[in-house]
Amino acid sequence: MLQKIEHYEDAMTHYTDLAIRYGTEYGLKVIGSLLIFLIGRWVAGKVVSLLKKGMSKAHVDPTLVSFAANATYVGLIVIIVIAAISNLGVETTSFVAVFGAAGLAIGLALKDTLSNVGAAVLIIFFRPFKVGDFIETSGVMGTVKAINLFSTTLTTSDNRSIIIPNGTLVGGNIINYTGNDTRRIDMVFDIDYKDDLKLAKEVIMEVLLANPKVLKEPMPVVAVGALAQNSVQIFARPWVAVEDYWDGMFEVTEAVKLEFDKHHISIPFPQMDLHVRKGEL
């Protein structure tokens, strides 16, 4: 009986020593790994915060700021996790291989989705348009409301939301109507062949110069554009600020019509002269 008790005590002592030894050895490593992760995450947050402030002060596009901050934070967290695991004595080479294989499998499964992510990177860095621009693409027109990793959202003039995959955007033509500070309004006014052509041109030019939204530089152009079937077409080409495009076009069109009425300049409509010839029966 005494021998069994002594054997039990020896076993308990042995396992207690093992627990103390492994607890001392690996406990410090676990604590160190936790400290590496917690401190590293705090440092990553500070780095991302400084990156955001620096890019905002440099007036970088908000979409690019958000994308760069998120990508930087994810990259730093991955490095911190690998460092914490490595501190435990685990071979991280196998983890890198597993992550690479998993990434390849995910990439093959989601190649269409990832193509949209790649297109988002191109849009953000090359900036064919930005949030707030009015663009035409894929047969639709609207103001860019949001750009994310997978799609771009447009808001049309009648307040509809159109969501377009980024891959479709990059693969087609993009017309950015607000990419520059100024824009030209292309207008056509028809007058009758019997009206005074020079007077009509003078009236149009006076209306353009009197409108405060029409820029003086470059000067607007008024010229005969075509001799149509039922009218003489006068082309007007005023320049306005981008934000004044629609208001400027509406105001000039209305003012020209009122001035034409005042000067008895007619706007013809399609017509046909019918000649009836009496023949012998």
Report the pLDDT value the prediction gives residue 11, as an integer from 0 to 100. Answer: 57
State the span(s) of the chain assigned CATH 2.30.30.60: 127-176
29-48: per-residue pLDDT in tens? Answer: 777 778 888 888 888 888 88
Mean pLDDT of 210-237: 93
* Percentage of residues of the chain with pLDDT beyond 70: 75
Determine phi and psi for 235, rounding to 5 degrees: -90, 135
- Kindly tell me if the per-residue pLDDT of 195 is higher than 90: yes
Counting Cα atoms < 13 Å in the Cβ hemisphere of 245 gives 12
State the span(s) of the chain assigned CATH 3.30.70.100: 182-262
Mean pLDDT of 191-220: 94
Tell me how far apart the alpha carbons of residues 65 and 105 are, in angstroms, rounded to a whole number: 30
Mean pLDDT of 232-254: 95
Asked whether the beta carbons of 155 and 135 are under 8 A apart, the reply is no
Residue 156: pLDDT band by 50, 70, 90 thresholds? very high
Tell me how far apart the alpha carbons of residues 245 and 239 are, in angstroms, rounded to a whole number: 9
Report the pLDDT value the prediction gives residue 17, as an integer from 0 to 100. Answer: 58
Instruction: Map 134-160 to HEC letters.
Output: EEEECCEEEEEEEECCCEEEEECCCCC
Report which of 218, 216, 187 is spatially closest to residue 201, judged by C-alpha positions. 187
Enter the DSSP assignment of 110. Answer: T
Asked whether the beta carbons of 190 and 228 are under 8 A apart, the reply is yes
Q: Which CATH class is domain 2-109?
A: mainly alpha
Residue 3: pLDDT band by 50, 70, 90 thresholds? low
Report which of 90, 117, 91 is spatially closest to residue 103, judged by C-alpha positions. 117
Between 79 and 65, the higher pLDDT residue: 79
219-230: per-residue pLDDT in tens? Answer: 999 999 999 888
State the span(s) of the chain assigned CATH 1.10.287.1260: 2-109
Tell me how far apart the alpha carbons of residues 72 and 49 are, in angstroms, rounded to a whole number: 11
- Kindly tell me if the per-residue pLDDT of 132 is higher than 70: yes
How confident is the prediction for the chain on average, in pLDDT? 81
- Kindly tell me if the per-residue pLDDT of 250 is higher than 70: yes
- Kindly tell me if the per-residue pLDDT of 1 is higher than 70: no
- Kindly tell me if the per-residue pLDDT of 97 is higher than 70: no
What is the CATH number assigned to the segment(s) 182-262?
Answer: 3.30.70.100
Measured on CA atoms in the order 188, 263, 239, 133, is the torsion positive or negative? negative
Residue 237: pLDDT band by 50, 70, 90 thresholds? very high
Report the pLDDT value the prediction gives residue 105, as an integer from 0 to 100. Answer: 59
Between 121 and 135, the higher pLDDT residue: 135
Tell me how far apart the alpha carbons of residues 160 and 162 are, in angstroms, rounded to a whole number: 7
Report which of 110, 164, 159, 115 is spatially closest to residue 137, judged by C-alpha positions. 164
pLDDT winner (highest mean) among 134-138, 147-151, 203-207, 276-280: 203-207
**Distant-in-sequence, close-in-space partners of 220: CB < 8 Å, separation ≥ 6:** 205, 208, 209, 214, 236, 237, 238, 239
Which of these ranges, 63-67, 160-164, 261-265, has the smallest mean pLDDT? 63-67
Q: Which CATH number fits domain 127-176: 2.130.10.10, 2.30.30.60, 2.30.30.360, 3.40.190.10?
A: 2.30.30.60
Determine phi and psi for 238, rounding to 5 degrees: -85, 155
Q: For the chain, what is the total number of helices (H) and then of strands (E)?
A: 7, 10
* Percentage of residues of the chain with pLDDT beyond 90: 37
User: In angstroms, what CA-CA distances link 27 with 32, 39, 134?
Assistant: 8, 18, 60
Mean pLDDT of 77-101: 70
Between 3 and 113, the higher pLDDT residue: 113
